Amino acid sequence: MPRHMAGKIVNTACALLCGTGITYASLHGLPGIPPLGPSLSPATGVWTLTQTQSLLPHTETLKIPGLERTASVHFGPHGTAYIHATDDRDLFFAMGYTQATFRLFQMDLERRQGEGLLSQIVGKEALSSDEFEDELGLTRTATKEWLAMKADHQARAVLEAFSAGVNARIAHDEATHHLPLMFKLLHYKPATWTPIDTLVIQGIMTQTLDYTDTPAQYAILAHSLGYARTMEFFPILPKDKQSPYDPGPYAKPTVSAVRAGASSRVNASEYQAMLSFAHQMAQVQGILHTYSDSNNWAVSGSRTASGSALMAGDPHLNQTLPSIWYQVDASAPGYHFSGVAVPGLPVILIGHNRHISWSLTDVQNQSTLLYKEETSRAHPGDYFYKGAWRPFQRIVYDIPVKGGKTVHLPVSIAAQGPVMTQHGQALAVDWMGNIPSPDLSVMLHILQAHNFAEFRSALSKWYAPTQNFVYADRKGNIGMISAGYYPLVAGGKPWLPLSGTGPDNVVGSIPYSAIPQVYDPPSGYVFSANQREVGDNYPYYIGTTYDFFANGYRADEIAHVLGASHHLTVADMERLQTTVRDYLATKIVPVLLQDEAHASLTPKEREVVQLLADWHDRMRASSPAATVWWTFWTQYVADTFGPWWSADHVPVQSDPTLAPTPALAPLDEDLQAWTLTDSTNPAFTPPLGAPRTAQQVMRLAFSQTVAALTKQLGPNPSTWKWKRVHSREFPSLANINGLGYGPRGSSGDEWTVNAADGFPISEAGPSWRFVMNWATGRGYGIYPGGQSENPASPWYEDQVPTWWDGRYHPMLTQAEARAYRAGAVWTLKPAGKG
């Protein structure tokens, strides 16, 4: 057995045994911890993961019940599956079978999360997640989507075939005692896979990208800071100049514009409800939308060396082992595609077919609305809606809890959506992800699209999550469409909780022809990086600076590079995806240096100033100036806004996400704009304090930065390397120490194109880097992980070093995969046939 495999197995066993505290647990279990004795059985337990069959596939013929015709799976150098089928139905059957072979536990964990069944296998620690999911209702939505599909629906047939393939692999693993490691460790078996499970996983992805609690946070801020100051610090439109990809002109709107308007008061009971709701959301932060995600762009032949289009995309998502993605290439009579799929879904979400390529970023528009439901003790179980008292719809969910009693969770549902809290005020959530969305059907049509017209037509039916779909094709055309459902409300301020009695209901969506979109723009390039996609004169409300657009610095950097470049190549696309130039630093550091040039500095401060003067704004791991810059900006934000937070008692202890840090994009935008163009803005003067200017606050922040870093990192500024304070980590999906990667000192920050979301440890960032070269029809890709979820497999984390170094793997064609002699080949045949 190779040494690294043995090491992983030892790490796993030690982590499990040490985690129980005493050997007794391995025989009998402790509350919340499964008995490990059966898991350690040499015949059927955890040690079977070391057998060759479990580590890497080998060439063999598999006879599989449910398959209709012969199919094949060739495995490339890093485990990419190249599936070929002579029947479309068998292609998706084989997709399910292959995914379940390498990612079954991950798939089961995802469906359990969405269906509120994690507590059943891990105990009460997961109860808050289960309760949230049952309340929000991913399973209710998935069931509606499934029931809406007619018997002859294309997506229905695909879901049935995929589920049959997954179940064929589950049956095989159970019969041969080769269920994946974690089933043995947690001592349970996977249930039969259903189409609704797949749709729930689709819902989990939507939730991660689209669900926020921002209206509650606006209400908390308005109660503390006052409405006027809240809207000054967290405005609808950004104060700094940004780079929208669709600058207009725009068609005349069908509804009146939404404006900040007069002051809105949040009373005490509403405030308590918002705090309760925010606390509830804090318990499940890992599965909600809390950061900006992703870059993509396309360049027409007018700007490339080849004269053909180039396209690039890198979605920024949670980085775990195993990865969120599974790479696959598929061929059948009706389909030819290559890219990455989410395990549990039968299609790729990012990639290319023979004619077009596409990638996704999150639009970041407001997709979650909160409604204050009017209730009365005189009408128990009812709420007042459209002039009458009406009963809440009530559903009781039974949540089985490992090692404990089943929890019975009652859920009340109003006209706008499920009630998420009744502490002080009944709050219902109207989340666009709960609108049944034919996403799978849309993706199937994209997989078969030949041109932009077919691509655009397919996306007209996409509702959630709202996504920026970048496009490029073999003929050199490029485009972008921000597809999805954009809620239009009849009244009220949608960034705050709205009245649940009816007048503020959602009345429709922005017309498809009016959503952000471009095709073959004169500039020769399109791009998105979660910035506001449109200019300030866009006539529809799509969200505020706090809900939930990025601060625009990644987009600014991409626009700067593409706009200044011609003769672009694949290598240029890769360099841009991996750049760690901080765009904001290019604007602010020169101002800081100019101010410090006139200040009375200590010798150490002069040394630090010289570090910044010699710096080129790159957040490299080895850079001391990068550490100084990030620490300074963090302190500058705190020194500017912190006095207001303290004076007005913003409850950051109850909701730490409200603390004035660089994580609050509107504050970065405000401070940038004021520093560059309004240095005497009243915000710099603290409440009841002496007048201050931007220069004075910068000077204070710089002095505090030098003092803090000296205390933290030592007296020599040249040793203050970024990697000493900033790292990346790819944790194990199962939360087992020793099965993740890192933490490791890293380049990048939250605003570099090569983003590292989170500080001081980043667990989110580029989850898949993809470049498409239409001059050759070749794609290039890499993700930080591996194709297998088995920790002992050579394919568990083998692609991490390549990703870390900014290198890519060519995406082989089916013919090239068949010619790869070192790769295993599965020949899949229907059971009972020769």
676 occurs within a structural domain? yes
CB 531 within 8 A of CB 548: no
Does residue 617 fall inside a structural domain?
yes
Pick the residue with more confidence: 291 or 540?
540
Q: What pLDDT, in 10s, does the model give residues 88-114? A: 999 999 999 999 999 999 999 999 999
pLDDT confidence of 34, banded at 50, 70, 90?
very low
The closest of 108, 76, 71, 77 to 92, measured between CA atoms, is 71
321 pairs with which residues across the strands?
A: 732
CA atoms of 559 and 240, how far apart (whole Å): 16
Q: What confidence category does residue 760 fall into, taking pLDDT thresholds of 50, 70 and 90? A: very high
pLDDT band for 53, please (50, 70, 90 cuts).
very low
SS3 736: coil
Residues 695-720 have pLDDT tens digits of 999 999 999 999 999 999 999 999 99
Distance separating alpha carbons of residues 523 and 565, to the nearest angstrom? 11
Residue 791 φ/ψ region, left for φ over 0, alpha for ψ in the -120 to 50 degree band, beta for the rest: alpha
Q: Which region holds residue 456: left if phi is over 0, alpha if psi is between -120 and 50, else beta? A: alpha
- Of 2-11, 148-157, 325-334, 736-745, the one with minimum mean pLDDT is 2-11
Q: Which residue has the tokens 């008995």?
A: 35
Q: What is the pTM of this model?
A: 0.93
Q: Which long-range contacts (CB under 8 A, 24 or more apart) does 815-818 make?
A: 817/74, 817/75, 817/76, 817/80, 817/82, 817/329, 818/74, 818/82
More confident: 531 or 734: 531
Beta bridge partners of 483: 467
Give 88: exposed, middle or buried? Use CB within 10 Å, 0-12, 13-18, 19+: middle
In a domain, 211, yes or no: no
- The answer to whether position 674 is within a domain reads yes
Cα separation, 329 vs 346, whole angstroms = 12
Taking CA atoms, 295 is separated from 101, 303, 470, 768, in Å, by 31, 19, 10, 11
Q: Is residue 646 part of a domain?
A: yes
CA atoms of 462 and 110, how far apart (whole Å): 22
205 CB-near residues (< 8 Å, 6+ apart): 342, 465
Mean pLDDT is lowest, of 81-95, 270-284, 443-457, 570-584, for 270-284
Q: How would residue 292 be classed by pLDDT, with cut points 50, 70 and 90?
A: low
Number of domains in the chain: 1
Integer Cα distance of 761 and 759 in angstroms = 5
Does the pLDDT of residue 501 top 90, yes or no?
yes
Q: Minimum mean pLDDT among 252-261, 338-347, 683-692: which range?
A: 252-261
Half-sphere exposure at residue 811, Cβ-oriented, CA atoms within 13 angstroms? 28
Residue 9 has pLDDT above 60, yes or no: no
* Closest to 155 measured CA to CA, from 425, 444, 523, 501: 444
CA separation for the pair 328, 666 (Å, rounded) = 39
The pLDDT mean for the chain works out to: 91
- pLDDT at position 832, please? 77
Residue 81 belongs to a domain:
no
> Cα–Cα distance between 65 and 171 in angstroms, integer?
10
CATH number of the domain enclosing 677: 1.10.1400.10
Residue 730 host element (H or E)? strand 727-730
Can you tell me the distance from the alpha carbon of 580 to that of 573, in angstroms, rounded to the nearest whole number? 14
What residues have CB less than 8 Å from 821, skipping those under 6 apart?
none
Domain assignment present for 618: yes
| Residue 691: domain span | 585-728
Closest by alpha carbon to 676, among 596, 742, 584, 768? 584
The whole-number average pLDDT for the span 221-238 is 96
Whether 603 maps to a domain, the answer reads yes
On the question of pLDDT at 368 being above 60, the answer is: yes
User: Any idea which residue has 């762009």 for tokens?
Assistant: 297
CA 470 vs CA 110, 297, 774: distances in Å: 27, 6, 14
Q: Does 54 score more than 70 pLDDT?
A: no
Looking only at the bridges linking them, the beta strands covering 356-362 and 348-352 are antiparallel
